[in-house]
Amino acid sequence: MADPIEFFFDFASPYSYLAAAQIEPLAARHGRSVEFKPILLGVAFKVSGQLPLVDVPLKGDYSRRDFERSARFAGVPFRMPSLFPMGTVNAARAMLWLQANDPSHATPFMHRAMRAYFTEDRNINEAAIIGEVAGTLGVDSARLVAGIQEPALKERLRAQVDSAVARGVFGAPYLFVDGEPFWGNDRLPHVERWLAQGPF
C-alpha cells in the first residue's frame, strides 16, 4: 500500500473540519489511508505574520459566508460557533494522547469533537467537554483528561507544530501526498487528481 496522506489540521479551523469530513473516503478510493496530525494555527500564523481569517478587513465578512456555503457545497452540517477563532491546545493534546494510548478512538474523537464545535457550538477546548465527547466513544475519560496534562505529551505537541511549520505549513488543512503540499479544503480536487494519476 502506498504511503498514507498526512493531514495537518486545527480543531477550530472550519476548512479543516470540511476537509476532514471528506478526506478518508477520497483517500480510500485510491487505496490510501490518512494520518491526522493536529497543529495549532496560532503558532503557524505567528511565523507567517497572518491574522486569523475573520479578523482581516473585508476578507473576514466574506469568509464567514464562505464557510457556510462551502459546507453546503460539501454537504456537511455547519453552524458558526459563537466563540471563534479559539485556541485548541487541549483538543490537540487529547488527539495525541489517544493516538498514543487508545489509537482506535483517536480519529473518531477528532470527527466527533469537530462536529460538536461546528454544529453544536460546544467549546471543545475545555477538558470537561473533551472528556464527555471522548466518553461517548467508550474512552476512559478520566485517564484522557489527566493524560493531556503530561509534560511529555505537551512537548510532543510542540514538536509536531514546530516540525509542521519547518516543513512550510502556514495554514490548515495542509496535506502532504508523497511529499507534495496541498493547502486548503478547496485543493481536494488537486489531491484527488494526484492520487488518481500521479504527479501532474
- CA atoms of 193 and 41, how far apart (whole Å): 27
Listed in sequence order, the residues at least 6 apart from 68 whose beta carbon sits closer than 8 Å to its beta carbon are 78, 80
Decide: is 196 part of the binding site for a copy of itself (CB under 8 A): no
- CA atoms of 140 and 136, how far apart (whole Å): 10
Q: Which of 3, 61, 120, 126 binds a copy of itself (CB under 8 A)?
A: 61
Q: Is residue 15 within 8 Å of 173, Cβ to Cβ?
A: yes
Q: Which of 80, 128, 189, 196 binds a copy of itself (CB under 8 A)?
A: 189
Q: Which of 56, 80, 142, 196 binds a copy of itself (CB under 8 A)?
A: 56
Apex 64 CA angle, 19 and 121, nearest 5: 75
Q: Which of 47, 83, 128, 196 binds a copy of itself (CB under 8 A)?
A: 47
Torsion of CA 169, 175, 176, 182, to 10 degrees: -80
Decide: is 77 part of the binding site for a copy of itself (CB under 8 A): no
Total site size for a copy of itself, rule CB under 8 A = 32
Pick the piece of the chain touching a copy of itself (CB under 8 A) from 15-23, 30-38, 65-73, 147-155: 65-73
Decide: is 35 part of the binding site for a copy of itself (CB under 8 A): no
- CA atoms of 120 and 187, how far apart (whole Å): 27
List residues near a copy of itself by CB under 8 A: 44, 47-51, 56-59, 61-62, 65-66, 69-70, 72-73, 165, 168-171, 181, 183-184, 186-187, 189-190, 193, 200
